[in-house]
Structure 1
Amino acid sequence: MADDSPTIELSLAELREVARFAAACARPALVIFERDRPDDRRPRTAIDAARAFADGGERTRAIRDGAWAAWRSHQDARAAGRAAASDAARAAVGAAGAAFLHPLAKSTQVKHILGAAAHAARAFELATGDDPAVGAGHIAQSRILAPPAVVDVLRRYPAAPPGGGRVGALIRELDAALR
């Protein structure tokens, strides 16, 4: 089945700003992941790859490979029952994935813009006994980190979709605050 979604104009400079924002939102959660899994550098590598792209590097397979490696870290942490570390790794996946935001006018693409921030917020909540005020604090910080270029890109997409549990709610909270 063909996807007839209209496309959105995205410049390389805008993609770099989205990746920079996602990496900045995900990076604080590394402390949660690395405290729990100090020998696993995969999430840090994914965030560093996103940041290198944001700083002018090419959008290469290394970013995708970093995202997949961080995804495996997320799975490993989840299998070990380490929920906060798992979401921290998902934040790193989101940072690397932001470099590959699709120019399709679909609400699901909002996750590529805001997913790193939402997963980091959820990691902080879980690390503090599932305290939603902590997650709200990270979302407020993420709002401050969002440059005008990211807000402009976000506004070209439909609002964040329903569902997705607590992370979905955090995405919608940040989406509403930025619009």
Structure 2
Amino acid sequence: MTGEASEIALSKQDLRAITAFAAACAEEALTVFEADQPDDSRPREAVGAAWEFARGGERGKSLRDTASAALKAAKGTDTAAAREAAWAAMSAAGAAYLHPLAKATQVKHILGAAAYAARAAELVAGDDPGVGAEHLERAVRRATPTVVDVLGRFPAAPGGGGRVGELIRTLDADLRSPTLFE
């Protein structure tokens, strides 16, 4: 049928590597959220659930519930930076649900946590894109060969998505660089 995306092979180990990458990226943004909402642990719990899966736990209700709770936490923030930080946490828990479809939109499951965390940092720094670039550089260094390999199975990140979309596309291009591990 025309328009259907082909399937991409994804092992549980691939999903664990992607989720570990996303959790590490989102973890950087937790302090931004907690400065705004010190009594709300939902984003930290989402990152914790992501780490649990990445380290061998099951992909199930805890991940879904904590991702949903982090999304709800984002809605209750007082600042855009805290909202982006909560979305980073939600994205980390959601990374375990990367769909094995060859669609560019799936790249957000891989790189979304890093992009949201970078955007949160930019906003805290007065909307400084240099701060976001520094976060993306750390994400590139954090990416394992497995993360890069899985990303390479998908089409390049799509257009759109505002500043977070730009950050995703920049990180996507950096991680697809043929000289990345030289």
TM over 0.5: yes
| 1:98 equivalent in structure 2 | 95
| Larger helix percent | 1
Change (3 A) 1:61 1:2: farther
Q: Which stretches in structure 1 are left out of the alignment for 5+ residues?
A: none
| 1:64 equivalent in structure 2 | 64
| 1:143 equivalent in structure 2 | 140
Write the distance in 2 (CA, Å) between the matches of 1:69 and 1:101: 19
AA partner of residue 42 (structure 1): R
User: Quick check: 1:121 aligned with 2:118?
Assistant: yes
Write the distance in 2 (CA, Å) between the matches of 1:40 and 1:110: 29
The counterpart of 1:134, out of the listed 123, 127, 131, is: 131
Write the distance in 1 (CA, Å) between the matches of 2:166 and 2:4: 27
Matches within 5 A, 1:1-179: 4-77=4-77, 80=78, 82-179=79-176
Write the distance in 2 (CA, Å) between the matches of 1:143 and 1:69: 28
Change (3 A) 1:3 1:43: farther
Aligned-residue sequence identity (percent) comes to: 60
Q: Normalising by structure 2, report the TM-score.
A: 0.95
1:86-124 deviation digits (Å, cap 9, x = unpaired): 000000011001000000000000000000000000000
Considering only aligned residues, what root-mean-square deviation do their CA atoms show, in Å?
Answer: 1.2
